[in-house]
């Protein structure tokens, strides 16, 4: 049975491509008022019409706060935050520099934290709100060349549990949803491809030679 999201204001980070794009399109079909957080609105906004699009680099606190404020100004409220922005380069742990690891953590873990902090004051004022953080099925089983990625997803799971305890009394629900890889249009690829990619907020590309600075 399809979920009815009629008139729910939903902010989705990293909606340029991949899972974020697919989620945004799915929510629009189900009646949601979607706000798409994009790295490159000029390039991708037209594909997400009629969504309201905002520039949102989750590595920049001021941009995250401004994006959330724009959504509230535009729609009058915000009901749901989906923390989707993230990257997952596949590398053995000893092949990754610590600077590379910090970049990944800044996007996946810190970006999720920043986005949560930006919406919490609005949710408290409303007395309601939903935060959905993106986990990964790899966290349960462990996968080669993804220790760095799995460490960020483990942090997100712990963050989710702690925030749920802190915020439940304000009518705010916090959950973590494990998800699988998708293609650039947001369709699940399962295990069809083992190619390392940057998934969300950038064009899908091989892990090397470089990391995107933001996502």
Contact 32, 10 (CB under 8 A): yes
106: exposed, middle or buried (Cβ count in 10 Å: 0-12, 13-18, 19+):
middle
Q: How does DSSP assign 104-152, residue by residue?
A: HHIIIIIHHHHHHHHHHHHHHHHT-EEEEEEEETHHHH--TT-HHHHHH
CA distance 215 to 197: 13
CA distance 94 to 43: 36
CA atoms within 13 Å, Cβ hemisphere of 185: 2
Active site residue 198: no
Q: Which of 88, 101, 149, 211 is catalytic?
A: 149
What are the backbone angles phi and psi of residue 131, rounded to the nearest 5°? -115, 125
CA distance 214 to 110: 12
Residues carrying an active site annotation: 149
């Amino acid at each position: 049975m399809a979920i009815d999201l009629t008139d729910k204001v939903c902010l989705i980070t990293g909606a340029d491509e991949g899972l974020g794009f697919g989620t945004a399109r799915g929510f629009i079909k189900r009646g949601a008022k979607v706000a798409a957080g994009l790295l490159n609105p000029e390039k991708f906004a037209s594909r997400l019409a009629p969504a309201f699009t905002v520039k949102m680099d989750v590595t920049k606190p001021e941009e995250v706060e401004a994006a959330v404020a724009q959504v509230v100004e535009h729609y009058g409220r915000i009901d749901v935050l989906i923390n989707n922005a993230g990257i997952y380069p596949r590398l053995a742990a000893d092949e990754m520099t610590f600077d590379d690891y910090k970049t990944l953590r800044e996007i996946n873990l810190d970006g999720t934290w920043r986005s949560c902090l930006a919406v919490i004051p609005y949710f408290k004022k409303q007395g309601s709100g939903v935060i959905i953080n993106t986990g990964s099925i790899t966290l349960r089983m462990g996968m080669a060349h993804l220790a760095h990625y799995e460490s960020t997803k483990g942090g997100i799971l712990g963050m989710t549990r702690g925030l749920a305890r802190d915020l439940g009394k304000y009518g705010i629900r916090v959950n973590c949803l494990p998800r699988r890889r998708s293609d650039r249009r947001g369709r699940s690829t399962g295990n069809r491809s083992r190619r390392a990619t940057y998934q969300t907020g950038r064009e899908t590309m091989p892990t090397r030679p470089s990391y995107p600075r933001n996502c």
